[in-house]
């Protein structure tokens, strides 16, 4: 019987094992779509019974962070209690990161939290490199026989309505595939009343699932992902990217500080257009880039089709920038595009389409509190619908006018290949995710552009290196799919360019400390004329110049470090910066000498900021030599 109810997870696990036996291949959504308590119950059963073979196929597994040192843990403990209260840790993830997974259990990921699993053999060896749109296919190929999903509940006139909420992404694609199987399989849900309820394609009936766990004691807030501060280079990149977006067009934006910067720039373009123009003018107007997009306000508005609906993208929806309606009927959409649609047709449809959402706690609260008319404008649906267009090409082409797919990459070769998921020795940093899907779509849609953002350099001092390189042993996006790249120093449009033209365009947005070396490598490879010289105007690509250009706008408050807020408060952010500085100082001889001088310096009079830091770290009253030393280190951090 479909929709069979359970009041506890262990009873549901009993029923799962009774139906499927002891070989379980579990598929579960990425991010906050996982039913933590139900997964933990299944994991514990397999951990206790070695005859159960359990493979978990998933991505982006999230637990509140644990400190890697005593001082770091002292900082994180009160933060965890406030930001993630009552969040049930994923026990398999703790075991994976502690390298203590039992041999009968494997965790197979297709996308990792950025940098979280570097040099972890268990995670690295069990990574699947797969486009997001291919994940359901690959789960099926691995023999998936169990789907576990967290769902939202809504009760209308005594009727239970379920929503796939944050993660219809893989589920809507996978369940029809499983229905065609000639072997046993189950789809099971755990209700979480704190998950935001969304309708349209995300709403499913109770009979969509075989088993449903409903225990109010298991409800918990979804995992909060705090925003990272936006730096000076990030602002330059975000503003340049925002000028590529066309009014009346379609938008997709990736996660992280660069995406935050681009979304805030778009918001400023609407709210304070003169201020927005002033920032662009300070950076240097780029007529070619603005020809792809513009700098004017959004009179027609934007439509969002983005696998990830982030807090910044949702803020654009709240601000009324994302308001261009699209329709599921191609004929209606054709009339809307031509301006001949009826008033009713213009009001219908949706304005924001996504496959999963993830963000800070306040983002989830605002989603839960949405008025009904706004909720109806959001369509959370399958990743196959969001990240590809060949199923309904005519309709998608009509809907996705002038699409700008804005994503982040780590490195780019001078011939235009992008490196976004792993480093040179094969260690996976994150994963391909949907990036290749969006690059591919940009090339398939006549008005589409793929825009990849990257900082021109990484590291500092002797470890400073260029993120624009001559060659790299791995590529996420091959050079024949090159399009637009943006650094803090400018925009490089590579579409239809020759190799030498691409090299020249990328050199123009490279950090000037590396330009000559990169040019020599290209010339030695016979890819650039030996008499080519980098124009004088492009030789001032240095961070201090960008800092000087943007400093007045940062001081004015136009470019705040956290434009979309943060779950951490100002005191915690300040303390985190001090502890990071302390960690950096201990990593080099020069830094250690500076730290020793700070430790030896006379202790200044009581400072409220230092006192608050010691209170947070439970070091206001110290006992024993170790705590006294930690308190001294903290005080020294405020003198570095």
Q: What is the mean predicted confidence (pLDDT) over 247-275? A: 97
pLDDT at 556: 95
Q: DSSP character for 216?
A: G
Query: What is the model's pLDDT at position 333?
Result: 95
Q: Is the pLDDT of residue 430 over 90?
A: yes
Residue 634 — very low, low, confident or very high, per pLDDT cuts 50/70/90?
confident
With H, G, I as helix, E, B as strand and everything else as coil, classify residue 80.
helix
pLDDT category at 373 given cuts 50, 70, 90 is very high
- Give the per-residue pLDDT at 484: 98
Q: At 604, is the pLDDT very low, low, confident or very high (cuts 50, 70, 90)?
A: low
User: Using 50, 70 and 90 to split pLDDT, how confident is the model at 35?
Assistant: very high
Q: What is the mean pLDDT of residues 54-68?
A: 96
3 state DSSP class of 162: strand
In the predicted model, is pLDDT for residue 463 greater than 80? yes
Q: Are the C-beta atoms of 428 and 127 separated by less than 8 Å?
A: yes
Q: Measure the CA–CA gap between 340 and 325, rounded to whole angstroms.
A: 14
Q: What is the pTM of this model?
A: 0.95
Q: How confident is the model at residue 605 (pLDDT cuts 50, 70, 90)?
A: low
Q: Is the pLDDT at 610 greater than 90, yes or no?
A: no
Concatenate the DSSP letters of all residues of 181-201 into one string. -SS--EEEEEE-TTSPP--GG
| pLDDT tier at 629, thresholds 50, 70, 90 | confident
In whole angstroms, what is the distance from residue 444 CA to residue 421 CA? 23
**Average pLDDT over the chain, rounded to an integer:** 95
Q: Which domains does the chain have, with CATH numbers?
A: 4-218 (3.40.1080.10), 232-511+538-543 (3.40.1080.20), 570-637 (no CATH)
Query: Average pLDDT of 283-300?
Result: 95
Element (H, E) at 502: helix 499-507
Question: How is 594-629 classified by DSSP, letter by letter?
Answer: HHHHHHHSPPPSP-HHHHHHHHHTT-SS--HHHHHH
pLDDT band at 637 (very low <50, low <70, confident <90, very high): confident
Distances (CA, A) of 234 to 166, 264, 465, 508, 620: 28, 11, 17, 18, 37
Q: Which of 454-463, 567-576, 590-599 has the highest mean pLDDT?
A: 454-463
β-partners of residue 353 are: 305, 379
Concatenated DSSP letters of 241-269 = HHTTPPTT-EEEE-SSHHHHHHHHHHHHH
Q: How far is CA 595 from the centre of its chain?
A: 35
Q: What is the pLDDT of residue 320?
A: 97
**Between 384 and 574, the higher pLDDT residue:** 384
- The pLDDT of 132-153, averaged and rounded, is 97
354 Cβ contact list (under 8 Å, min separation 6): 304, 305, 306, 307, 308, 309, 378, 379, 380, 381, 386
Q: Which of 30-44, 200-214, 376-390, 584-598 has the weakest average pLDDT?
A: 584-598
pLDDT of residue 606: 64
State yes or no: pLDDT of 119 exceeds 90. Answer: yes
In the 8-state DSSP scheme, what is residue 91? H
pLDDT of residue 506: 98
Give φ, ψ of 440 to 5 degrees. Answer: -60, -45
How far apart (Å, rounded) are the C-alpha atoms in residues 349 and 635? 58
On the question of pLDDT at 301 being above 60, the answer is: yes
- Exposure of 446 by Cβ count < 10 A (0-12 exposed, 13-18 middle, 19+ buried)? exposed
When pLDDT is averaged across residues 296-318 and rounded to a whole number, the result is 98
Whether 259 has a pLDDT exceeding 70, the answer reads yes
pLDDT above 80 (res 22): yes
Average pLDDT over residues 49-78: 95
How many percent of the chain have pLDDT more than 70? 99
Query: According to the model, what pLDDT value does residue 584 have?
Result: 80
| Segment 322-352, tens digit of pLDDT | 999 999 999 999 999 999 999 888 888 999 9
Q: How far apart are CA 226 and CA 360, in angstroms?
A: 5
């Amino acid at each position: 019987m479909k929709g069979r109810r359970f009041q506890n997870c262990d009873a549901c696990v009993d029923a799962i094992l009774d139906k499927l036996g002891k070989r379980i291949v579990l598929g579960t959504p990425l991010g906050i779509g996982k039913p933590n308590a139900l997964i933990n119950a299944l994991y514990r059963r397999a951990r206790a019974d070695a005859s159960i073979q359990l493979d978990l196929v998933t991505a982006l597994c999230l637990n509140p962070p644990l400190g890697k040192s005593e001082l770091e843990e002292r900082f994180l403990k009160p933060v965890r209690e406030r930001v993630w209260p009552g969040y049930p840790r994923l026990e398999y993830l703790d075991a994976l990161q502690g390298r203590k997974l039992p041999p009968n259990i494997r965790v197979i990921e297709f996308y990792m939290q950025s940098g979280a699993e570097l040099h972890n053999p268990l995670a690295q060896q069990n990574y699947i490199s797969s486009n997001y749109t291919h994940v359901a296919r690959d789960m099926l190929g691995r023999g998936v026989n169990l789907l576990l999903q967290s769902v939202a509940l809504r009760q209308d006139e005594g009727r239970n309505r379920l929503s796939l909420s944050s993660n219809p992404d893989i589920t809507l694609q996978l369940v029809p595939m499983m229905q065609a199987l000639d072997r046993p399989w189950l789809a099971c849900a755990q209700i979480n009343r704190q998950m935001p309820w969304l309708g349209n394609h995300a709403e499913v009936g109770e009979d969509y699932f075989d088993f449903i766990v409903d225990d109010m004691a298991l409800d918990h807030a979804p995992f909060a992902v705090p925003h990272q501060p936006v730096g000076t280079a990030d602002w330059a990149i975000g503003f340049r990217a925002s000028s590529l977006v066309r009014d009346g067009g379609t938008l997709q934006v990736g996660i992280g500080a660069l995406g935050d910067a681009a979304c805030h720039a778009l918001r400023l373009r609407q709210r304070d257009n003169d201020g927005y123009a002033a920032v662009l003018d300070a950076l240097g107007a780029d007529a070619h880039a603005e020809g792809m997009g513009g700098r004017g306000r959004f009179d027609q508005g934007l439509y969002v089709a983005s696998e990830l609906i982030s807090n910044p993208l949702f803020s654009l929806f709240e601000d009324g920038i994302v308001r261009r309606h699209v329709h599921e009927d191609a004929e209606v959409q054709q009339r809307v595009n031509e301006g001949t649609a009826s008033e009713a047709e213009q009001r219908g449809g949706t304005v924001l389409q996504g496959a999963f959402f993830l963000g800070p706690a306040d983002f989830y609260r605002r989603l839960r509190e949405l008025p009904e008319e706004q909720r109806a404008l959001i369509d959370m649906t399958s990743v196959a619908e969001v990240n590809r267009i060949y199923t309904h090409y005519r309709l998608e082409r009509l809907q996705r006018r002038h699409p700008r797919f804005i994503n982040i990459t780590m490195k780019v070769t001078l011939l235009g290949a992008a490196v976004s998921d792993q480093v040179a020795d094969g260690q996976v940093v994150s994963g391909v995710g949907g990036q290749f899907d969006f690059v591919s779509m940009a090339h398939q849609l006549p008005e589409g552009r793929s825009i990849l953002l990257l900082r021109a350099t990484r590291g500092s001092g002797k470890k400073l290196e260029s993120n624009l390189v001559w060659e790299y042993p791995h590529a996420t996006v091959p050079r024949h799919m090159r399009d637009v790249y943006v650094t803090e120093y400018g925009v490089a449009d590579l579409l239809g360019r020759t190799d030498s033209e691409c090299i020249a365009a990328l050199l123009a947005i490279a950090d000037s400390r590396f330009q000559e070396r990169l040019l020599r490598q290209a010339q030695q490879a016979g890819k650039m004329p030996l008499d080519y010289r980098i124009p004088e105007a492009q030789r001032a690509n240095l961070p201090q110049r960008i800092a000087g250009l943007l400093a007045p706008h940062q001081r004015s408050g136009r470019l705040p470090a956290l434009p979309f807020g943060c779950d951490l408060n100002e005191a915690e952010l300040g303390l985190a910066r001090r502890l990071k500085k302390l960690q950096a100082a201990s990593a080099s001889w020069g830094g250690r000498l500076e730290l020793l001088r700070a430790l030896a310096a006379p202790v200044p009079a009581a400072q409220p900021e230092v006192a608050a830091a010691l209170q947070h770290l439970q070091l206001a009253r110290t006992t024993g030599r170790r705590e006294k030393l930690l308190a001294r280190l903290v005080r020294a951090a405020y003198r570095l």
